[in-house]
């Protein structure tokens, strides 16, 4: 058997899942399959196929076509929640001479110019005749004899070389060709959430954070035509596309608030505009969540960031809502949210200057400590259920 270039995907928390573990692993395998779907074929060989094998709590991924460098799919895999590390490795027959040959051919070159290395061997397949320290010593010897200037350091080497004896083959890899996975839990393992997605910086980060804990995300975006443009909505669709690289397919709902906003402006106290509007937004979100069996609502709110995110405002805005609401950014500073937005690739799109329905008709002096009695009095001047129903009826789904 020739050596095969593979990727080893290792999971984190899933390993702690006891009896449910198989369910989590299967879901992760499906998500990996979806993430690499677009690489199934490549131009050189129309039949090249990406293979995934699950064995002893590790996934091995390789391509049938030796001309396709499997490292090409690392960027897509590094967005799959549930994977903690990705090792670029060689898979070879469980024969010590073959392993040595492969180490010389592939690992010796990556040690070139390094000061020190160490070899770790792990024998998950106990039937292999050599014990771990012996395997490590033999592989260390051949690599050392190949490289005149390197030293062996078994405490803190510049590069760790690992040899893993598994049921499905021997694997060899080096720590300088190891990549970080996205961590978290596989999407689909922890319920469903309706993300209130604006064009801003915070809400895409909020969706990312919940999806990272395994939640399947749908998105709801509010518009206010003609005060907001089609291009503003198109920007939010682009944001959800970026998110879907992590979260898988996202169902996108869009609802117009124009009539509601015009009524609030006409009949209500201007300082209460934002609070009143946000109550409508949450009521509509709750009804969409209920009728689509979505477990919870997710927002990008961060405590104290703006007038509608003081504790008094949050209490009033969510009064009467009985769907769980998650606000994963609530305890984060803006700088921390921006850091995540940059990392996940939404920041550049978020800062494009388009109008948002919440900034149309914003009061000059928004209340920071709204009173519930006053809100209810203002709302009594509006046809609450008719407005909510007409807005919900005009829903647009992608």
Binding site for ligand ATP (CB under 6 A): 196-198, 200-203, 220-222, 299-301, 305-306, 308-309, 356-358
Helices (H), 153-272: 202-212, 230-247, 258-267
Tell me how far, at minimum, the Cβ of 344 lies from Mg ion, in Å.
17
* Site map 101..140 versus Mg ion, x via CB under 5 A: ----------------------------------------
Q: What distance in Å separates the CA atoms of residue 160 and residue 175, rounded to the nearest whole number?
A: 5
Q: Which does 346 bind (CB under 5 to 8 A by kind): ligand ATP, Mg ion, none?
A: none
Under the binding rule (CB under 5 A), the answer on residue 200 touching Mg ion is: yes
Residue selected from 31, 87, 138, 198 as contacting Mg ion according to rule CB under 5 A? 198
Beta partners for residue 220, in sequence order: 196, 253
Tokens at 326, concatenated: 């998650």
Our CB check for ligand ATP shows the closer of 91 and 221 to be 221
Contact indicator for 310, 317 with CB cutoff of 8 Å = no
Tell me how far, at minimum, the Cβ of 324 lies from ligand ATP, in Å.
15
Q: What distance in Å separates the CA atoms of residue 107 and residue 117, rounded to the nearest whole number?
A: 11
Q: Which does 4 bind (CB under 5 to 8 A by kind): Mg ion, ligand ATP, none?
A: none
Contact indicator for 132, 99 with CB cutoff of 8 Å = no
Our CB check for ligand ATP shows the closer of 159 and 367 to be 367
Residue 47 DSSP code: T
253: helix, coil or strand?
strand
Tell me how far, at minimum, the Cβ of 197 lies from ligand ATP, in Å.
5
Residue 385 DSSP code: H
Our CB check for ligand ATP shows the closer of 108 and 357 to be 357
Q: Which residue is nearest to ligand ATP (CB)?
A: 200
Tell me how far, at minimum, the Cβ of 344 lies from ligand ATP, in Å.
14
Q: Which does 207 bind (CB under 5 to 8 A by kind): Mg ion, ligand ATP, none?
A: none
Q: Which does 196 bind (CB under 5 to 8 A by kind): Mg ion, ligand ATP, none?
A: ligand ATP
Tell me how far, at minimum, the Cβ of 199 lies from ligand ATP, in Å.
7
Alpha carbon of 233 to those of 202, 347, 349: distances in Å? 16, 16, 12
Q: Which does 378 bind (CB under 5 to 8 A by kind): Mg ion, ligand ATP, none?
A: none
Residue 66 DSSP code: T
Helices (H) and strands (E) in the chain, counts: 14, 14
Tell me how far, at minimum, the Cβ of 206 lies from ligand ATP, in Å.
6
How many degrees, rounded to 5, is the angle at CA 116 between CA 115 and CA 122?
Answer: 155
Contact indicator for 209, 54 with CB cutoff of 8 Å = no
Catalog residues that contact Mg ion under the rule CB under 5 A.
198, 200
């Amino acid at each position: 058997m020739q050596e095969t270039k593979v990727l080893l995907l290792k999971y984190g928390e899933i390993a702690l899942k006891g009896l449910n573990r198989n369910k989590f692993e299967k879901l992760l395998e499906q998500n990996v399959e979806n993430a690499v779907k677009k690489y199934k074929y490549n131009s050189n060989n129309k039949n090249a196929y990406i293979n995934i094998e699950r064995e002893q709590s590790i996934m091995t991924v390789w391509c049938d076509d030796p001309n396709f460098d499997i490292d090409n799919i690392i960027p897509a895999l590094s967005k799959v929640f549930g994977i903690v590390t990705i090792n670029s490795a060689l898979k070879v027959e469980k024969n010590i001479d073959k392993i040595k040959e492969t180490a010389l051919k592939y690992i010796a070159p990556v040690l070139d110019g390094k000061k020190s290395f160490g070899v770790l061997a792990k024998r998950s397949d106990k039937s292999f005749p050599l014990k771990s320290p012996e395997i490590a010593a033999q592989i260390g010897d051949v690599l050392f004899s190949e490289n005149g200037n390197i030293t062996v350091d078994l405490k803190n080497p510049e590069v760790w070389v690992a040899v893993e004896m598994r049921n499905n083959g021997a694997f060899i890899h080096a720590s300088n060709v190891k990549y970080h996975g996205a961590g978290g839990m596989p999407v689909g393992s922890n319920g469903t959430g309706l993300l209130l997605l604006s064009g801003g910086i915070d809400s895409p980060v909020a969706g990312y954070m919940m999806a990272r804990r395994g939640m399947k995300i749908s998105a709801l975006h509010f518009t206010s035509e003609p005060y907001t443009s089609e291009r503003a909505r198109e920007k939010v669709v682009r944001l959800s596309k970026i998110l879907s690289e992590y979260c898988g397919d996202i169902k996108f709902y869009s609802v117009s608030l124009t009539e509601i906003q015009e009524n609030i402006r006409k009949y209500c106290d201007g300082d209460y505009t934002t609070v009143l509007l946000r109550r409508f937004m949450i009521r509509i979100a709750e009804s969409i969540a209920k009728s689509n069996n979505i477990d919870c609502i997710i927002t990008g709110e961060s405590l104290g960031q703006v007038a509608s995110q003081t504790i008094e405002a949050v209490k009033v805005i969510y009064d009467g809502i009985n769907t769980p609401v998650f606000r994963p950014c609530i305890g984060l500073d803006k700088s921390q949210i921006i850091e995540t937005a940059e990392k996940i690739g939404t920041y550049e799109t978020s800062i494009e200057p388009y109008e948002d329905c919440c900034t149309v008709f914003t009061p000059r002096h928004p209340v920071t400590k709204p009173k519930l009695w006053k809100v209810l009095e203002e709302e009594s001047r509006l046809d609450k259920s008719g407005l909510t129903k007409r807005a919900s009826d005009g829903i647009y789904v992608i």
